[in-house]
């Protein structure tokens, strides 16, 4: 159920405006049945009043194209009227917000949601700095430009908007004068004089204005980038996380604006406004209302760049770093769709789903690849009947099936992983699980391969896909192979199995819920590779990996024998096989070093 601003924005981003019906207008949502008729000065005043009221009230969204009904003195979103894009000038809406609200609210989005017969327009106003007050010119309601010598403060109050009274504005001014420590008429006159000189007609705000400690630094960066034709400051500079930022634009030529970005330790960069908006939109998908830039970070210069640089509007990729997602790259496809992918890195961190699908199992050896897919849009995903049937056809020819067959074939036997059955994890519209069993001569399970894909639950927020190869019973496998064959796996075989399991979990299983290429990330995707002994000996102690694996190429371990080792790769799930092989070797070397095999190197793998 939609019960907060984030869930409403998620529904709009998923093009499901119908799910808003039944909501009540509140502090954070306002519905309008028809677009603002911006040719009418009163409508333009209403637009800027509504937007600035939400900016002053902690953020919110205006949905245009939904009619309301009155119910117990409240306005309830009743039915979709639909809005024709031909009747709306989105650029004019953005321009009015920029020009007529002081300062211009940060991060405002104007977008469309829904199919043709239920299309609505929405204006998303994010929460702004708590120390900033947003004002507009006092409403005049008649033709002509707004008077720059007046001021009015709209505030969101429940499901309505009101203007601060003259007495309330006077109290705010008085509080500001008292806080200055110089409560004199002369001081007030000087403050007014400065404000008029800085923001009055004919003189816009300065670059760096609003950040006195960094104004000189920002001016110097602006001058270094003068050849880029950035235009003039479009409002006060502000701080967001680790960055000092400044909007820049030419008001009259209709060209996209720029954002000047300064991050300590990096050369300053000017980012074309369309690209900057894509960066912000990417981070906006992070869960929990996190600051978008705190998630994705800020532009990172190309290697060897130590002077100011520019990211133009036609840029096709941007490297980002400094956010909670870690280093990544935002890339624009040939169709103009931007997508973020992490730059590869390794760790020993494992998620809550690391042991999914292992309940009741005690194989002698498990080789597992588990992929976490934290997509932003998962509510509409399902395991469809058609795609499940296609997966069942593909599994006998999958990479993991080939790896299991290879293990037997290299030992002189032909034991193909050809017959896959549903289970034992349970199958539904939210999950798909299959297993293939190779039995010994007495019918006892010898080797198994299994795959599982699970959609998010109340306990797990990501889509999880995993592929396992299990040596259930080495003796039964030896009997199935025939005499004189060693069932211990070489390190090259371990790599081949993990590579196949990783490829299956990353590229084959996700297709069962749709087209992964059309989904965006809410966090970085990861792949967890694990080798573990899980069947205790008669004394209750787990055997060590060396019992079933030949780890001699790694050298000796300063940490002693282990029953389990694992490593996590943060990387895009889909990649060419050569790249996957390279990352696998580097990840296994990283894992071996971390677990005490200090002489292990990539070349040994």
Q: What is the pLDDT of residues 491-511, one digit of tens each?
A: 999 999 999 999 999 999 999
- The phi and psi torsions of 293 (rounded to 5 degrees) equal -75, -25
pLDDT for the residue numbered 117: 81
pLDDT for the residue numbered 202: 46
Model confidence pLDDT, tens digit, residues 309-350: 999 999 999 999 999 999 999 999 888 889 999 999 999 999
- Among 354, 307, 372, 299, smallest CA distance to 330 is for 299
- The phi and psi torsions of 95 (rounded to 5 degrees) equal -65, -40
Confidence check: pLDDT of 246 > 70: yes
Residues 462-490, mean pLDDT to the nearest whole number: 92
Residues 454-463, mean pLDDT to the nearest whole number: 82
Confidence check: pLDDT of 292 > 80: yes
pLDDT for the residue numbered 29: 95
Between residues 301 and 461, the one the model is more confident about: 301
pLDDT tier at 426, thresholds 50, 70, 90: confident
Interatomic CA distance for residues 280 and 512, integer angstroms: 30
Interatomic CA distance for residues 368 and 531, integer angstroms: 6
How many degrees, rounded to 5, is the angle at CA 196 between CA 192 and CA 197? 115
Model confidence pLDDT, tens digit, residues 297-309: 999 998 888 899 9
Q: Which two tokens stand for residue 404?
A: 């299991």
- Among 224, 340, 335, 234, smallest CA distance to 278 is for 340
Interatomic CA distance for residues 526 and 506, integer angstroms: 10
Q: What is the mean pLDDT of the chain?
A: 88
- 213: exposed, middle or buried (Cβ count in 10 Å: 0-12, 13-18, 19+): exposed
In 264-332 the beta strands, taken as DSSP E runs, fall at 269-272, 298-299, 309-311, 317-321, 328-332
How many degrees, rounded to 5, is the angle at CA 145 between CA 31 and CA 102? 60
Total-model pTM: 0.77
Residues 183-208, mean pLDDT to the nearest whole number: 58
Confidence check: pLDDT of 397 > 90: yes
* Core vs surface per residue 467-494: b (16+ CB within 10 A) or e: bbbbbbbbebbbbbbeeeeebebebebb
Q: Where are the domains of the chain?
A: 5-164, 204-340, 347-604
Residues 237-253, mean pLDDT to the nearest whole number: 84
pLDDT for the residue numbered 143: 47
Cα 342 to the chain's mean position, in Å? 10
Q: Where are the alpha helices (DSSP H) in 313-469?
A: 385-394, 399-409
Q: For strand 298-299 and strand 317-321, is the pairing parallel, antiparallel, or unpaired?
A: antiparallel
Contact present, 602 and 586 (Cβ < 8 Å): yes
pLDDT tier at 458, thresholds 50, 70, 90: low
Q: Concatenate the DSSP letters of all residues of 370-403 into one string.
A: EEEE-BS--TT----HHHHHHHHHHGGGSHHHHH
pLDDT tier at 200, thresholds 50, 70, 90: very low
Q: How many other CB atoms are found less than 10 A from the CB of residue 157?
A: 11
pLDDT for the residue numbered 149: 65
Contact present, 322 and 297 (Cβ < 8 Å): yes
CA 141 to each of CA 103, 155, 343, 401: distance values in angstroms, whole numbers, following the listed order:
22, 19, 53, 73
CA 154 to each of CA 58, 141, 158, 166, 215: distance values in angstroms, whole numbers, following the listed order:
13, 16, 13, 12, 30
Interatomic CA distance for residues 305 and 428, integer angstroms: 52
Task: Specify which residues 113 forms β-bridges with.
Answer: 120
- Among 428, 430, 427, smallest CA distance to 382 is for 430
pLDDT for the residue numbered 98: 80
Q: Could you confirm whether domain 5-164 is CATH 3.30.950.30? A: yes
pLDDT for the residue numbered 167: 81
Contact present, 462 and 425 (Cβ < 8 Å): no
Interatomic CA distance for residues 163 and 48, integer angstroms: 12
Residues 6+ away with beta carbon under 8 Å from 453? 383, 431, 432, 433, 463, 464, 465, 509, 510, 512, 513
Picking from 47-56, 147-156, 211-220, 419-428, which range would have the lowest pLDDT averaged per residue? 147-156
pLDDT for the residue numbered 362: 93
Residues 6+ away with beta carbon under 8 Å from 55? 101, 105, 125, 128, 134
Contact present, 195 and 205 (Cβ < 8 Å): no
pLDDT for the residue numbered 511: 94
Q: How many other CB atoms are found less than 10 A from the CB of residue 276?
A: 24
Task: Specify which residues 75 forms β-bridges with.
Answer: 70
Cα 283 to the chain's mean position, in Å? 5
- Among 535, 534, 516, smallest CA distance to 371 is for 516
Interatomic CA distance for residues 169 and 180, integer angstroms: 17
Residues 221-227, mean pLDDT to the nearest whole number: 91
Between residues 564 and 140, the one the model is more confident about: 564
3-state class (DSSP) for residue 509: helix
């Amino acid at each position: 159920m939609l019960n907060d601003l984030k869930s409403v924005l998620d529904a709009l981003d998923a093009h499901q405006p119908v799910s808003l019906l039944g909501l009540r207008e509140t502090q954070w949502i306002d519905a309008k049945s028809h677009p603002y008729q911006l040719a009418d000065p009163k409508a333009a005043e209403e637009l800027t009043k509504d937007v600035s009221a939400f900016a002053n009230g902690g953020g919110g969204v205006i949905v245009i194209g939904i009619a309301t009904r009155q119910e117990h003195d409240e306005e309830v979103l009743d039915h979709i009227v639909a809005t024709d894009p031909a009747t709306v000038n989105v650029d004019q809406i953005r321009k009015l917000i920029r020009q007529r609200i002081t300062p211009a609210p940060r991060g405002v989005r104007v977008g469309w949601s829904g199919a043709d017969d239920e299309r609505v327009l929405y204006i998303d106003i994010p929460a702004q700095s708590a120390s900033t007050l947003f004002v507009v010119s006092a409403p005049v309601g008649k033709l002509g430009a707004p008077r720059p010598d007046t001021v009015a403060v709209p505030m969101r109050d429940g499901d309505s908007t009101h203007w601060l009274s003259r007495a309330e504005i006077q109290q705010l001014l008085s509080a500001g004068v008292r806080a200055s420590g110089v409560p004199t008429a002369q001081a007030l006159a000087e403050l007014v004089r400065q404000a008029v000189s800085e923001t009055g007609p004919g003189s816009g705000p300065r670059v760096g204005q609003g950040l006195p400690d960094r104004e000189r630094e920002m001016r110097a960066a602006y001058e270094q980038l003068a050849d880029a034709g950035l235009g003039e400051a479009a409002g006060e500079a502000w701080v967001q996380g680790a960055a000092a930022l400044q909007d820049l634009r030419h008001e009259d030529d209709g060209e996209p604006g720029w954002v000047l970005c300064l991050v300590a330790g990096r050369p300053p960069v000017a980012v074309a406004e369309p690209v900057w908006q894509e960066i912000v939109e990417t981070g906006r998908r992070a869960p929990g209302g996190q600051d978008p830039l705190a998630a994705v970070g800020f532009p990172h210069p190309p290697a060897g760049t130590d002077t100011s640089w520019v990211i133009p509007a036609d840029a096709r990729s941007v490297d980002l770093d400094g956010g909670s997602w870690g280093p990544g790259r935002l890339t624009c496809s040939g169709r103009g769709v931007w997508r973020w992918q992490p730059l590869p890195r390794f760790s020993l961190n494992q998620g809550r789903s690391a042991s999914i699908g292992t309940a009741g199992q005690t194989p002698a050896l498990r080789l597992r690849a588990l992929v976490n897919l934290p997509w932003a849009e998962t509510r509409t995903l399902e395991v469809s009947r058609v795609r499940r049937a296609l997966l069942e056809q593909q599994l006998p020819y999958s990479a993991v099936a080939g790896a299991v067959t290879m293990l037997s074939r290299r030992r002189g036997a032909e034991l193909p992983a050809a017959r896959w059955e549903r289970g034992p994890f349970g199958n539904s519209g939210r999950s798909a699980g299959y297993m293939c069993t190779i039995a010994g001569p007495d019918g006892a399970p010898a080797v198994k391969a299994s795959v599982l894909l699970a959609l998010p639950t109340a306990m797990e927020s990501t889509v999880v896909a995993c592929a396992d190869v299990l040596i259930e019973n080495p003796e039964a496998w030896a009997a199935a192979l025939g005499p004189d064959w060693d069932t211990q796996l070489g390190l090259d075989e371990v790599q081949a199995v993990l590579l196949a399991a990783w490829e299956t979990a990353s590229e084959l299983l996700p297709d069962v819920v749709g087209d992964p290429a059309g989904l965006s990330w809410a966090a970085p995707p990861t792949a967890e590779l694990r080798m573990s002994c899980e069947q205790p000996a008669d004394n209750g102690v787990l055997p060590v990996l060396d019992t079933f694996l030949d780890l001699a190429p790694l050298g000796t371990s300063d940490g002693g024998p282990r029953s389990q080792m694992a490593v996590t790769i943060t990387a895009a799930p889909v990649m060419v096989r050569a790249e996957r092989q390279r990352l696998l070797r580097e990840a296994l070397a990283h894992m071996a070093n971390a677990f005490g095999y200090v002489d292990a190197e990539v070349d040994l793998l």
